[in-house]
Amino acid sequence: MSAYLEIAGVNHSFGGLQALNDCGFAIAEGGIACLVGPNGAGKTTIFNVITGFLRPDTGHVAFRGRPLDGLTPQAIVRAGIARSFQNLRLFADLTACDNVMLALPERAGETPFGALFRPFATARADRRRRGDALQLLDHVGLAARAADRVRNLSYGEQKLLTIARLLATGAELLLLDEPASGLASGALDQVMALLRRLRGEGKTLLVVEHNTRVVQQIADEVLFLHQGHLLAQGSPAQIIADPALAEIYFGGAL
Amino acid sequence: MDYLYSYLILAEIYVLLGLSTNLLVGVVGIFSVSQAAVFGVGAYIVGDCLLSGTLSFLPALALAAVACVLLNVLISLPSLRVSGDYFVVTSFGIQLLATATFTNWTWGTGGANGMPGVPPPDLFGASIESTRGILALTTMAMTLGCLAFWLILRAPFGRKLRAIREDELAVAAAGKGVLGAKVSAAAMAGAFAGVAGGLYATYLSFIDPSSFDLDASILLLTMVVVGGARTLWGSILGPFLLLALPQALTLLAIPTTYAATSRQLLYGGLLIAFALFRPQGLLGERL
């Protein structure tokens, strides 16, 4: 049986820097896998490779047994994989609701032709989309901020909004780049609860996370990346207990 | 009365150009400083067709629109590769190239002497000679343009265009195509400018390169900045206001030799003042 998401033999260099070095791992469907490793380990780079934003020098990515090599980011979203960004990349001038609506899958009436020549059908379709978007906002606890511009949301609310936007794509595998970083404890708990809830709803999550406390609390499985290579994969307890990994992670501070 | 009509006709034509510029620069964020060049191509095509008698007004206008769609898509293409500041430089070059062509291609444009004697517009065989008739025509064109702009902005397609201006990569990550949307917007902006050019040529019956030079492109940007980006009302107010100002200046009894200079001074001053103190324009958003 082929793995749910499988990465094999991926190499990629930026100039002289080898960001990914024979990187390979597989994750199973369902559950939360955390990708950890020191800065520069290649965590975001492998996200870019999986989601089609970066074409690796060599190597393959397959999802549900289907190769994704050479697909555009759009095609990969349609295949069922969507990602968030560490620096959020929300549309700051749009409302929270518009941010989510934009990511809903395309339907009829989204072309300029439809907008011009079938305005009523387009408006009806858009009202339905607004309803869907509001539901998703409600799901992440942002229903009250739907009509607010993103630039007026708090950082914690913006982080929740990136997750709502991710859900809007309809993808089943969500790649989250540091969803919990920079959050105060209240917002942090909210994000962690949301991630667990998504797992309960059948989503599969691959999460880049630095905070070991968060990793311990949410991860079903931990993948340890170092110098662009998968060093270890196991349960959170196994990985955190490994003194060699701690040495790498904390740079010999222990 | 004719004086008022003349102002209204020109303002309405410039509203079409304002919509074109606002769509491209304000909504999608393709910072073009060559929209007057596209306007000029539309004007010369209609002028040539009517002068030579090859086409009547509506087919000539359609031809100009199609040509300007293609041209605007073509000159917006670099924006898909080079971003922001670099595109401005590219676009600046395109504008200079266009002005040089308008000025030197004597056979096609009449060169620096201009193209005199463009016949008035005609509809279904009847020539529209009266100012009032032309006003009706430009009002209709402007209304259709405004309607199209409004429909686009309120549709999901408009939301996508706004999002592209903010962050193309995030649009791609949301599973949406960027290229097609940008090309469509450029095409629409081209059509607006082409139609505006055709109306301009037939109304004035004389066109020359000075209406389609860099100053004209910057005037269009000033209209968007003053009126306000990304709103219909901003796109309407900008042209009406900026074309009224020179008329107001004539009341100040400035000697005619200084009139043109004072107009440029006024426009330049407005552009700076709005950029510094009211970047969202009168009725819109920040460019």
3-state SS of B49-86? HHHHCCCCHHHHHHHHHHHHHHHHHHHHCHHHHCCHHH
Mean pLDDT of A137-152: 97
The DSSP bridge pattern shows strands A173-177 and A204-208 to be parallel
AA identity, residue B83: S
- Written as six digits, the tokens of A198 are 């998504």
**B265 inside domain:** no
Whether A41 contacts A209, CB under 8 Å: no
pLDDT of residue A244: 86
CB contact under 8 A, B166 and A116: no
Predicted confidence (pLDDT) per residue in A38-65, tens digit? 988 999 999 999 999 999 999 999 999 9
B179 touches chain A (CB under 8 A): no
- Find the CB nearest A169 among B157, B163, B175: B175
- Written as six digits, the tokens of B63 are 């031809």
**B98 inside domain:** yes
Predicted confidence (pLDDT) per residue in A198-253, tens digit? 999 999 999 999 888 899 999 999 999 999 999 999 999 999 888 888 888 877 54
**B39 inside domain:** yes
Helix (H, G, I), strand (E, B) or coil at B29: coil
Predicted confidence (pLDDT) per residue in A172-213, tens digit? 999 999 999 999 999 999 999 999 999 999 999 999 998 888
CB contact under 8 A, A115 and B159: no
pLDDT of residue B105: 95
For chain B, the domain total comes to: 1
Residue A223 CB: number of other CB atoms within 10 A? Answer: 23
- Written as six digits, the tokens of B124 are 């279904």
pLDDT of residue A1: 52
**B234 inside domain:** no
**Any idea what DSSP says for residue B281?**
T
Name the β-bridge partners of A11.
Answer: A58
ipTM over 0.95: no
pLDDT of residue A61: 97
Handedness of CA B78, B82, B85, B89 (dihedral sign): negative
Mean pLDDT of B108-125: 93
Say yes or no to pLDDT of A157 above 70: yes
Task: Using an 8 Å CB-CB cutoff, list residues of chain A that contact chain B.
Answer: 51, 53, 72-74, 77-78, 82-85, 89-94, 98, 101-103, 105-106, 109-112, 114-116, 119, 122-123, 125-126, 129, 165, 168-169
Predicted confidence (pLDDT) per residue in A14-36, tens digit? 998 999 999 999 999 999 999 99
**B38 inside domain:** yes
CB contact under 8 A, A116 and B170: no
pLDDT of residue B258: 78
pLDDT of residue B40: 98
- Written as six digits, the tokens of A133 are 């978007």
pLDDT of residue B60: 97
**B242 inside domain:** no
Handedness of CA B57, B62, B63, B67 (dihedral sign): positive
Predicted confidence (pLDDT) per residue in B6-37, tens digit? 999 999 999 999 999 999 999 999 999 999 99
Predicted confidence (pLDDT) per residue in B53-93, tens digit? 999 999 999 999 999 999 999 999 888 776 677 889 999 99
Give the burial string for B176-201 (b: 16+ CB within 10 Å, else e). bbbeebbbbbbbbbbbbbbbbbbbbb
d(CA A109, CA A126): 9
Cβ neighbours of B148 in A, within 8 Å: 116
Burial of A50 (0-12, 13-18, 19+ CB in 10 A): buried
d(CA A23, CA A223): 11
Burial of A130 (0-12, 13-18, 19+ CB in 10 A): middle
**B221 inside domain:** no
Between B284 and B202, name the one with better pLDDT.
B202
CB contact under 8 A, B162 and A91: yes
Give the structural domain span for B97: 2-212
Between B124 and A145, name the one with better pLDDT.
A145
Residue B132 CB: number of other CB atoms within 10 A? Answer: 13
Residue B113 CB: number of other CB atoms within 10 A? Answer: 11
d(CA A232, CA A239): 7
**B259 inside domain:** no
CB contact under 8 A, B163 and A53: no
Mean pLDDT of B162-182: 93
Give the burial string for B240-279 (b: 16+ CB within 10 Å, else e). bebbeeeeebeeeeeeeeeeeeebeebbeebbeebeeeee
Whether B234 contacts B281, CB under 8 Å: yes
Q: Which residues contact B99 (CB under 8 A, 6 or more apart)?
A: B37, B209, B212, B213, B214
Mean pLDDT of B199-222: 96
Whether A52 contacts A73, CB under 8 Å: yes
CB contact under 8 A, B175 and A74: yes
> Domains of chain A (ranges plus CATH)?
5-80+171-249 (3.40.50.300)
> Shortest CA distance to B268 belongs to which of B227, B224, B222?
B222
pLDDT of residue B112: 93
pLDDT of residue B265: 87
How far the first Cα of chain A sits from its last, in Å, is 41
Predicted confidence (pLDDT) per residue in A80-104, tens digit? 999 999 999 999 999 999 999 999 9
The DSSP bridge pattern shows strands A58-63 and A66-67 to be antiparallel
Residue B105 C-alpha, separation from nearest chain A C-alpha, in angstroms: 36
pLDDT of residue A252: 52
pLDDT of residue B79: 81
pLDDT of residue A254: 42
Mean pLDDT of B191-195: 98
